[in-house]
Amino acid sequence: MTTKLVLFLGTRVLRGRGGTARYLRGAVVGIALSLVPLIVVMEVSTGMIEGITARLLEVGTYHLQVSLPPATDEETLEEISRAIAADAEVLAAVPERQGTGLVSSGRAAAGVTIRFVPPDVFTRDPGFGAFVSIREGSADLKGEAILLSIALAGSLGVRTGDTVNVLTTWAGSVSGPPRLARFSVAGLYETGYQELDKSLAFAPLASAAGILSPRSSRTLVGVKVRDPFGDLAPVAARISNLAGRDTRIATWRELEYARLASFRTTKALLLFIMALIVVVASVNVSSSVLMIVFERRGDIAILKSVGAKPRTLALSFLAAGALTGLIGTALGVVFGLLVAVNINGVIKGLEQGVNAVLSLASLVRSSLEPSVPAISHFTLFNSAFYLESIPIRIDPAEVTAAASAALLLSAIASFFPAARAARAKPLEILRKV
């Protein structure tokens, strides 16, 4: 009977058509609106971090890097790669030489990391081929060919078939004698992450010996494994035995530690700010329940006079607050997930709407003052600094944690006014009413 009475009294407030019910309905809206940005930021940031990390691992860092002595010749490098590729946990082992150079087209120049890889890197490393999309030309890395990103080619003013000059230092310092080589642009690629694209160019492994100094370059084997997010220590130990003594093995967690730590810190700060909004909304639940306790003090006095226990009254107001939190949380999660799943379309729609208003304002202003320049185009999400589109990643654990926190805060916020209602004395209430 007590449980039914608690639920009846708790839901009666929400079922009311007016009066005190409006307070809790406003609290429902507040919790729902506070959860929407939290869910969106949480899931969008997760998708962006996973999208950037995947491109960094598959295109840039590998899962493991086996650093070899700089003087290792190409034949030995291939032998070590084949030995590592024979391991059951290894998906791909790619021999590579890396160095920095200045790529010049005669119209512009850019400093990049030049990665000299085997001509069959796209088939040898399926992960690389999955993220490196050839948009123009071909991936044929033979002879004096080079692959440039679309972003880099645009800044240099070159297209497929054009010739570029690559200048490197031969000694271990910038004061050493330079080496100049001419490469033909075989193709233009993109990975969807322009920060990575602008910094990398790819050339045939056989061309490295004539342009890269052993003292100013790296010789390595890039390794891809079946489970890059698992424990990499056992496979690293086996690879170390295969590669020999003068090698050093680093995992992607070590190589990308600073970048990933920056991503995690940024996400944590954003979530903290969004969580403060939820806390404020839960305080609104407390104030709403408190107003209900104040306006229904006559009902509380009557219920206590006819034998209602203080515990029953406290639980009924606590149930009202908890139900408010439950409804608001459900609405917030649903609408938050809808926005998160369609975030690319939402961003595009917002940009189009704002730019339509700006274009109209620019047209009106130009008609009044023709000499005033037009208003610049508004961009909410700049792909030059992030991904071209935001990957959609819904983490059920994160959504559940956010919903649980909102429910807990609503219940805690309802406790104090519920306790006040339980302590109220009927005679004092009736004397004041």
Residues 207-254: tens digit of each pLDDT:
888 888 877 788 999 999 998 888 888 999 889 888 877 788 999 999
Q: Which of the residues in the chain have pLDDT under 50?
A: 1
**Cα–Cα distance for residue pair 367/356, rounded to 1 Å:** 17
Q: Is residue 63 part of a domain?
A: no
**Cα–Cα distance for residue pair 248/358, rounded to 1 Å:** 56
pLDDT confidence of residue 424: 57
Domain enclosing residue 167, as ranges: 95-223
Q: Is residue 249 part of a domain?
A: no
Collapsed DSSP state (helix, strand, coil) of residue 99: strand
Q: Is residue 265 part of a domain?
A: yes
pLDDT confidence of residue 4: 62
pLDDT confidence of residue 148: 93
- Nearest Cα neighbor of 410 from 292, 332, 319 is 319
pLDDT confidence of residue 185: 92
Q: What is the DSSP letter of 186?
A: E
Overall domain count for the chain? 2
Encoded tokens for 418? 């519920």
Asked whether residue 274 falls in the same domain as residue 418, the answer is: yes
pLDDT confidence of residue 314: 65
Asked whether residue 293 falls in the same domain as residue 417, the answer is: yes
CA distances from 158 to 47, 162, 372 (A): 33, 6, 35
pLDDT confidence of residue 193: 80
Asked whether residue 23 falls in the same domain as residue 100, the answer is: no
Encoded tokens for 258? 């600073």
| Single-letter amino acid, residue 110 | A
User: Helix 310-341 vs helix 257-295: angle between axes, to the nearest 10 degrees?
Assistant: 140
pLDDT confidence of residue 163: 92
pLDDT confidence of residue 64: 93
pLDDT confidence of residue 407: 84
pLDDT confidence of residue 1: 44
Q: Is residue 417 part of a domain?
A: yes
